[in-house]
Chain A
Amino acid sequence: MAVLVIAEHDNASLKDATHKTVTAAAKMGGDIDVLVAGKGIKDVMAAAAKIDGVRAVLGVDHDSLERQLAEAMEVVVVGLMDGYDAVLSPDTTTHKNYMPRVAAKLDVQQISSVTGVESADTFVRPIYAGNAMATVQSTDAKKVVTVRTTAFAAAGEGGSASASDSAANIGDLKSEFVSEELTKSDRPELTAAKTVISGGRGMGSGENFKLLEGIADKLGAAMGASRAAVDAGFVPNDWQVGQTGKSVAPELYIAVGISGAIQHLAGMKDSKVIAAINKDEDAPIFSVADYGLVADLFKALPEFEAELEKAGV
């Protein structure tokens, strides 16, 4: 049995989500190869070759793969699947974009956002925004799986897999990349941060998110938000934590002015420690928080920042 893992990267560096997907693949058993599809990917391939448990790294370098366009990725992955029994990718937006195309072309039912791997054909996945967990067994000859990476530990680095270039047979595409508007930030990436501080509708405005910045700076935290705060236009969409946004599982998650709607909890309840600040003592967020502070956030946040300072954080 052979499993193909698709790397998460930005053409310059390999992302941790790849290591976590390798861990999920290892639970299926068999040989693991990593596909790096992109443009100018030598460094990424070298990094992937170091992941423990990887047999080989395949690199496909092509202009249309710089942004991993859905149609181009479909062609590359489907073209490789003769040699594999399963293909796994992280469940980030990049891969969610083309994995269903791969599954359809292989005539396979995709198994999305798995949080557990029981065997080579049996997986656990959240349904209904994480309010239920389904254990499903695939009867398809090949498995197409996306992985909720927060549910898996990262594979180590000490391996020395072989790395080789593979040709891309990408013809004319019906789509093209136009532009990208990426949020610039010196803070850690939301899904990889050790600490996350998120604001909700209770923040009242985008301006008030400044109250979280000083705390985020002190803690080296990434900043996130609830769907309500994003929908209200306080912060950009890519800050959204929840079932329809990003899933995070940091060491510490601080929820400020977030009531704790089911769909938000689905995206953060795997955090190791959860702290919540909310003025409504009946807010559902307190039912999952390890430490709850019932207080007006406009008073509590400056105090919290000052106390962090005092504690030498």
Chain B
Amino acid sequence: MPGDVVDNAPLELADLINRVLDKGAVIAGSVTISVGDIDLIQLDLTLVLTAIETVRTAERRRREGGDR
């Protein structure tokens, strides 16, 4: 697709991540995310993305509380 010539690879990657991972229409579904050294986490797309530890804490509490 023609566009600006961008020599800055980090800029291009940051833009790609912001557009494709943070934007776009949301329909439904689930996604497993592994980016760089971040461990795999499973998210419901209706949830606001949170820090990995927050998600893990929530998962632990749900298992301990027995609610699902």
Physical interaction between A and B = no
Partner-A contacts on B (CB < 8 A):
none
Partner-B contacts on A (CB < 8 A):
none
